Amino acid sequence: MEEFVIEGGIPLRGEVTPSGNKNAALPLLAACLLTEEPVILHNLPQIRDVLAMRKLIESLGAVVEDLGANTWRITTKELIASHLDPDLCRRIRASILIAGPVLARAGGVHLPPPGGDVIGRRRLDTHILALRALGAEVKYDRVFEITSNGLHGADMLLDEASVTATENAVMAAVLAKGETKIRNAASEPHVQEVCNFLNILGAKIEGIGSNTLHITGVSRLNGGEFTIGPDLLEVVSYIGAAVVTHGNIRIHNAGVQHLEMVRQVFHRLGVQWQVEGSDLIVPAEQPLVIASDLDGAVPEIKTNVWPAFPTDLTSIAITVATQAAGSVLFHDWMFSGRMYFTDKLVGMGARIILCDPYRVLIQGPTQLYSEKLESPDIRAGMALLLAALAAKGTSKIRNIVQIERGYERVDEKLRSLGAKIERATE
């Protein structure tokens, strides 16, 4: 098993370019199954989750050709009726995204339950309710048997603004007969990318970027070409790495138009950055003082659906908060296991009280010290990597496969910024 060995306390300096958005790449690859014509995707991140999705769509008949380091051509002339590999589906949460496109094009799918990060219960009910509204019949006995004699448009209100359920519903609806309205739809940038991509292929989706999508079904989709935008979670991770090491970095093509809420939250932690065109610059000098509420109360940073502060950035923001002066409460009501990684930060010297599975109170700043760590999931693993970069001494992080599920060449990029991080075998 490989591990990272990190010598902490070295300010990061230089320039970095984020990879393509993982959370857009996965549904886009699934969406390629909707057409028999070739589709070219640019800026695909070469990470474990994306490679797992490639194997999944290949097992269904897709032919994937490498046209360059981060460009693939996907052609699915005919879907193969096959039983997907349960072990492969368990590797990634995004395997559930196979349901919508295969159901729409082939009329049925035999789908093992998805896997992914262990961060608490992650219900699939919204997916099933949406597909049933479009005319699907769903049975479950350790695997999902989803069939349809023909999908039809529907007016549906999602019981939660689930990103992947919205994407599944959209992918199924674009080939359904008639009109579909999806209310309480997720509207994250990567959901918008999926909708824009489908429109390039000939779908008719309106209301993109809002929480109500209007879809007019079409009989078939064409081929097309699309470039995936930057991964905003990676951008913010590098902002955090610069801040906790008192470094100065420039992030190219940072997707700054989507970072306004993140900027507000990080500003409350005493973090500032500048924008030059599409680039984001993190200066070495940071206030790093937590701003209290107007009445002097301890501020609460609470996650919510887009455009609010995203749950996937909670772990990164917590690590940054350990280096800021003052108290702050983080509240992530979405996932009951998100906060458990904070015991590892406590072991490094952070002052953190785990109030309950959803809330932690942080008092900073504290000097972090090196530790032997293990990555529990993608985002917590990256947060621990940031903590190791800030800590005194040399830390080791095991189970780095979790981090590499979501971050492309993270050790190489950090070394380019001056970090002392090496890959070793235990």
Distance from C-alpha of 48 to C-alpha of 92, rounded to nearest angstrom:
9
How do residues 280-299 score in pLDDT, each as one tens digit?
999 999 999 999 999 999 99
- Give the model's pLDDT for residue 81: 63
Residue-wise over 254-288: b if at least 16 C-beta within 10 A, else e? Answer: bbbebbeebbebbebbbbebeeeeeebebeeebeb
Average pLDDT, the chain: 94
Distance from C-alpha of 110 to C-alpha of 76, rounded to nearest angstrom:
18
- Give the model's pLDDT for residue 122: 55
- Give the model's pLDDT for residue 92: 85
Half-sphere exposure of 141 toward its Cβ, with a 13 Å CA cutoff?
Answer: 1
Closest of 63, 65, 70 to residue 36, by C-alpha: 63
Distance from C-alpha of 126 to C-alpha of 128, rounded to nearest angstrom:
5
Asked if 246 and 286 touch (Cβ cutoff 8 Å), the reply is yes
Q: Does the pLDDT at position 243 exceed 70?
A: yes
Distance from C-alpha of 358 to C-alpha of 79, rounded to nearest angstrom:
42
Task: Name the least confident of 132-146, 239-253, 317-331.
Answer: 132-146
Closest of 152, 142, 165 to residue 27, by C-alpha: 165
Domains contained in the chain, CATH given? 2-19+230-425 (3.65.10.10), 22-227 (3.65.10.10)
> Are β-strands 155-157 and 137-140 bridged in parallel, bridged antiparallel, or unpaired?
unpaired
- Give the model's pLDDT for residue 336: 79
Please spell the DSSP secondary structure of 365-397, one letter per residue.
----B--EEE--SHHHHHHHHHHHHHSBSEEEE
Distance from C-alpha of 399 to C-alpha of 53, rounded to nearest angstrom:
21
- Give the model's pLDDT for residue 30: 97
Task: Name the least confident of 43-57, 141-155, 263-277.
Answer: 141-155
- Give the model's pLDDT for residue 113: 79
Which helix (DSSP H) or strand (DSSP E) does residue 5 occupy?
A: strand 2-7
- Give the model's pLDDT for residue 112: 84
Q: Does the pLDDT at position 38 exceed 50?
A: yes
Residues known to be catalytic: 117
**pTM of the entire structure?**
0.93
User: What residues does 420 pair with on adjacent strands?
Assistant: 7
H helix count then E strand count, the chain: 14, 23
Q: Does the pLDDT at position 118 exceed 50?
A: no
Task: Name the least confident of 131-145, 163-177, 406-420.
Answer: 131-145
- Give the model's pLDDT for residue 120: 41
- Give the model's pLDDT for residue 93: 80
How do residues 347-404 score in pLDDT, each as one tens digit?
999 999 999 999 999 999 999 999 999 998 899 999 999 999 999 999 999 999 999 9
Q: Does the pLDDT at position 119 exceed 50?
A: no
Percent of the chain with pLDDT over 70: 98
Percent of the chain with pLDDT over 90: 85
pLDDT category at 82 given cuts 50, 70, 90 is low
- Give the model's pLDDT for residue 167: 98
Task: Name the least confident of 146-150, 153-157, 325-329.
Answer: 146-150
Distance from C-alpha of 359 to C-alpha of 345, rounded to nearest angstrom:
15
- Give the model's pLDDT for residue 117: 44
Q: Does the pLDDT at position 53 exceed 80?
A: yes
How do residues 68-78 score in pLDDT, each as one tens digit?
889 999 999 99
Q: Does the pLDDT at position 116 exceed 60?
A: no
Task: Please enumerate in sequence order all residues whose Cβ is within 8 A of that of 189, keeping only pairs 6 or more positions apart, or say none.
Answer: 21, 24, 229, 232, 255, 258, 306
Helix, strand, or coil here: 168?
helix
